[in-house]
Amino acid sequence: MERAAPDALASIGADVIGETEAMSAINWLDVKVGQVVDYLKRSTPDAPGSGQIVLAETAKWYCAVVRPNAHRAAELDLAQMGFRSFYPKSRRWISHARVKRAKERPILGRYLFVEVDHPRQSFNSVSSLFDIESMVSNLGNPTPFPSHWVEKMLCRYIAGEWDEVTHGKLPVGARIKIIEGEFAEQYATVTSSKGHRVDLKLLGSNQYTKMNQCSVRAA
């Protein structure tokens, strides 16, 4: 099943069909939001289907459409088959039962970028996965997207540009984990905050404490 490229994506891919980007890329599977990383040199392609993700000079980024809420499952299946994939996510506080938890949500809806080194890697291997419905195509051919555009978005995600949790103020009711001090590794709920200081109630007890915001992380 193929899907025509929507206007927002077609404007990106229309002028770059057939373009090859010889750029270094980040091994994003091993990094977390906000972590400082180095660029990796591309290596010689390995055997297809080996489960080893290879950064090949001839690989291009394409766009797949996943089933609703199946981004992570598709991402894991692709990685096991040796495909690098990426979908940008925002991170914000979600409130449920008066408790706020940090959650990530896809920015581009059901779209997920997949790097394919065709013909060494097959488009059918991608589209045949259970959690992938189709690939953005033009006249039956998957449409390549600019490598520099996708990888720039990847760098922006790793840098935490869409992370409202890390760069914002801890709200009252936020579920957090204490990472240093007397109560290190314990979970707590924010009861109030002023400046860089937060008041906390330890989870599962009636004990309260105060500490600097830099000593806690979203749970």
Q: Are residues 98 and 188 in the same domain?
A: no
Q: What is the H or E stretch that residue 104 is in?
A: strand 99-106
**pLDDT per position as a tens digit, 153-193:** 999 998 888 888 887 788 889 998 999 888 999 999 999 88
Expressed as residue numbers, the domain containing 186 is: 169-218
Query: Which CATH number characterizes residue 74's domain?
Result: 3.30.70.940
11 pLDDT above the threshold of 50: no
Confidence label for 218 from pLDDT (cuts 50, 70 and 90): confident
Contact indicator for 37, 31 with CB cutoff of 8 Å: yes
Same domain, 32 and 49: yes
The count of structural domains within the chain is 2
* Residues 191, 134 share a domain: no
Question: Rounded to whole angstroms, how far apart are CA atoms 156 and 160?
Answer: 6
| 184 shares its domain with 126 | no
Q: Do 93 and 58 sit in the same domain of this protein? A: yes
- Do 153 and 177 lie in a common domain? no
Non-local CB neighbours of 129 within 8 Å, separated by 6+ positions: 74, 77, 78
Strand partners, 142: 137
User: pLDDT tens-digit profile of 49-99?
Assistant: 556 666 678 899 999 999 999 999 999 999 999 999 999 999 988 888 778
Same domain? For 121 and 214 the reply is no
The SS3 call for residue 128 is coil
> pTM here?
0.63
In this structure, the answer to whether residues 185 and 210 fall within a common structural domain is yes
pLDDT of residue 194: 84
Supply the pLDDT for residue 54.
66
Average pLDDT of the residues in 21-35: 50
